[in-house]
Amino acid sequence: MNRLEWILGIVLVVLLIAVAVVSLLFWFGPRQTAVTQQTTQDPLREQGLKIEPTSVYEGSTAKVAYAAAQNEAQAWQADAELLNASATWPQGATAQQLLDGETSWGFTFYSPSAQEVAVISVVEDQASLISTGPHTQENPVLNVSGWNLDSQEVIRSLLEAGGNDFINQEQVTTLTTALFTDDQEQNGRMEWQASLISLANGRALTLRIDATSGEILDKQMIGN
């Protein structure tokens, strides 16, 4: 599987987990009234002015969540090693609200002895084994000890590299981040990828960052 497939797969798992949590906590959280879409030139942008962050539970940074996920992974297989981590923030979150780097996380671990992967979620510091399945790992997996950059530092780099302006311009955005420890590029680098996506027009600002040194490896703006 390539990195795009990993991202899409893990983001789907995280979204499913979030839906489940929202359902469980529905009666304890604030109710939202459906918004009637008005006939305007840009209704999504106008709706964006009314959107508030929608998370109903406390999150954590990637490294804090990883500690809980690792315990669950080693209970599954003693030789489990991290392949990737990913998270999606609530739509409409402001730059200031993103800066703490805290949310719920999905982790994929690989067991060389079992030739399997396990998907583990961490919600409110509680790690849960979601699924397992066979997997052939073609690329070397880098040692997680080289993972220095936590999620709040990645987000800060993204915001400083144009993310603040992107949020101000687009108004309704969502943030996704993913850490990759498998060396698909064959360059010995463990990498973060962070993307801000506009819900109004599909534009995206994406940054690739060295997870060890913090060096920005690539910056792309997708869309007009």
pLDDT tens digits for range 137-155: 999 999 999 999 999 999 9
How many angstroms separate the CA atoms of 191 and 214, rounded? 9
| pLDDT value at 18 more than 90 | no
Q: E strand or H helix at 87, and its extent?
A: strand 81-88
The continuous run of DSSP H or E covering 123 comes out as strand 116-123
The predicted pLDDT at position 45 comes to: 34
pLDDT at 214 over 60: yes
pLDDT at 31 over 60: no
Six-digit token pair at 145? 């000890």
Phi, psi for 207 (deg, rounded to 5): -125, 135
- What pLDDT score was predicted for residue 43? 38
- What pTM value is reported for the model? 0.76
pLDDT of 98-136, one tens digit each?
Answer: 999 999 999 999 999 999 999 999 998 899 999 999 999
Can you tell me the mean pLDDT for 64-70?
98
Tell me which residue of 93, 24, 99 sits closest to 57, measured CA to CA: 24
d(CA 126, CA 24) in angstroms, rounded, equals 15
The number of residues making up the chain comes to: 224
Degrees, nearest 5: CA angle 26-30-32: 95
End-to-end CA distance of the chain: 29
Query: Could you tell me how many helices (H) and strands (E) the chain has, helices first?
Result: 6, 8
Higher pLDDT, 66 or 224: 66
CA distance 144 to 146: 5
Label residue 9 by pLDDT band (50, 70, 90).
low
